[in-house]
């Protein structure tokens, strides 16, 4: 399978990061979103991130210009019809993802590979709603995409070997490392990471420690680059809650029960950095703990 043109659905933080690395690797990239503003913002963000890489000597100015030239944007899903590989990177809601694939299917080439950047949803279930479950798999990038070196490749029950190998070759061309994961709730990274974050929220909820003491403990006591509550704000508390619900529902084990305080923050709309408030308040010059 010769992959040259990559379609990316969703121009948010993950989508523009994926477009960034794909374009740098020389792929023709078609980035789509329902929002024209999101597409415009994505191009500005990508340009800024590429400029930052130039200033740090990671890439040349020519590579910066060439990468931007490789990226085209569109608001029409149907324009992705001639792509060889499509990576869906929309919001972490299964109904939204299913609707996107349903709208895409009539326009695709028979050989097009479909993938999802989902961090937790069943690949087998998503694939079963398409006309090509054997050419469908999970392609889970880590955030921020241009910096993080890992990509989880998740096979559904029907994913065939040529599809897996083609996606693995893409990861290698990106100079990233592929980790093969089986299709169980939250795969590898989030199966381990999210319960740790959830436990940190329980530690806060039960009054064992404050936001600052919990984060300082894990940064200075376990050598983590970010504390778990700081990391939760970075990921988005709504995403953390969604993944915990997938784990809880999919594995039916009470150890994955989302902390009520996490649910409360999401209900308040305090989702972390993207809304300026989460476990920290980001509206001032310096983040301030909210508890």
DSSP string, 114-157: EEE--SSS-HHHHHHTSS-GGGEEEEEE-SSTTT--EEEEEE-T
pLDDT tens digits, one per residue of 266-288? 999 999 999 999 999 999 999 99
Q: What is the model's pLDDT at position 120?
A: 87
- CATH of residue 204's domain is 1.10.1040.10
How far apart, in whole angstroms, are the C-alpha atoms of residue 108 and residue 3? 14
Domain range enclosing 244: 191-289
Catalytic residue among 119, 120, 122, 198: 119
Q: What is the model's pLDDT at position 168?
A: 98
Cβ neighbours around 273 below 10 Å, total: 18
Annotated binding site: 10-15, 33, 92, 97, 119, 143, 274
C-alpha neighbours within 13 Å on the C-beta side of residue 35? 11
Does residue 71 contact residue 19 with C-beta atoms inside 8 Å? yes
- Residue 285 sits at φ, ψ, to 5 deg, of -70, -30
- Does the active-site annotation cover 180? no
Residues 244 and 168 in one domain: no
Does residue 42 contact residue 19 with C-beta atoms inside 8 Å? yes
Tokens of 234: 């970075």
Q: What is the model's pLDDT at position 91?
A: 86
Does residue 156 contact residue 133 with C-beta atoms inside 8 Å? yes
Residues 17 and 35 in one domain: yes
- Does the active-site annotation cover 175? no
Residue 265: name the closest of 289, 241, 234 by CA: 241
Q: What is the model's pLDDT at position 1?
A: 74
- Is pTM beyond 0.75? Reply is yes
- Does the active-site annotation cover 190? yes
With a CB cutoff of 8 Å and minimum separation 6, the contacts of 79 are 30, 32
Q: Which of 145, 165, 182 is the last residue of a domain?
A: 182
Q: What is the model's pLDDT at position 92?
A: 84
- Does the active-site annotation cover 267? no
Q: Which of 182, 217, 246 is the last residue of a domain?
A: 182
Catalytic residue among 16, 190, 198, 230: 190
Q: Which of 182, 211, 235 is the last residue of a domain?
A: 182
Residue 240: name the closest of 198, 185, 183, 187 by CA: 198
Helices (H), 153-227: 161-173, 189-205, 211-221
Task: Please count the structural domains in the chain.
Answer: 2
Catalytic residue among 122, 140, 198, 230: 140
Q: What is the model's pLDDT at position 93?
A: 87
Q: Which residues of the chain have pLDDT under 70?
A: none
Q: What is the model's pLDDT at position 230?
A: 98
């Amino acid at each position: 399978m010769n992959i040259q043109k990559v379609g990316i659905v969703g121009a948010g933080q993950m989508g523009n990061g994926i477009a960034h690395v794909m374009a740098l690797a020389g792929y023709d990239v078609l980035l789509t979103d329902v929002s024209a503003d999101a597409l415009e913002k994505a191009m500005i963000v990508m340009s800024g991130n590429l400029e930052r890489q130039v200033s740090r000597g990671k890439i040349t100015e020519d590579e910066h210009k060439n990468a931007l030239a490789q990226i085209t944007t569109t608001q029409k899903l149907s324009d992705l019809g001639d792509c060889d590989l499509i990576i869906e990177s929309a919001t972490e809601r299964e109904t939204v993802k299913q609707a996107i694939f349903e709208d895409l299917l009539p326009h695709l080439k028979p050989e097009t590979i479909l993938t999802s950047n989902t961090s937790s949803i069943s690949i087998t279930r998503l694939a079963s709603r398409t006309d090509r479950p054997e050419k469908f798999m999970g392609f889970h990038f880590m955030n921020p995409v241009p910096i993080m070196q890992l990509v989880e490749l998740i096979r559904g029950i029907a994913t065939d070997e040529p599809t897996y190998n083609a996606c693995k070759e893409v990861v290698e061309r990106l100079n990233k490392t592929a980790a093969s994961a089986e299709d169980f709730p939250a795969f590898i990274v989030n199966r381990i990471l999210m319960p740790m974050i959830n436990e940190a929220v329980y530690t806060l909820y039960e009054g064992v420690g404050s936001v600052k003491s919990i984060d300082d403990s894990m940064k200075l006591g376990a050598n983590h680059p970010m504390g778990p509550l700081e990391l939760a704000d970075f990921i988005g508390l709504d995403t953390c809650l969604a993944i915990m619900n997938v784990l809880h529902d999919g594995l039916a084990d009470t150890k994955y029960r989302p902390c009520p305080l996490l649910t409360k923050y999401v209900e308040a709309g305090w989702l972390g950095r993207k809304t300026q408030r989460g476990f920290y308040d980001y509206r001032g010059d310096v983040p301030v703990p909210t508890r």
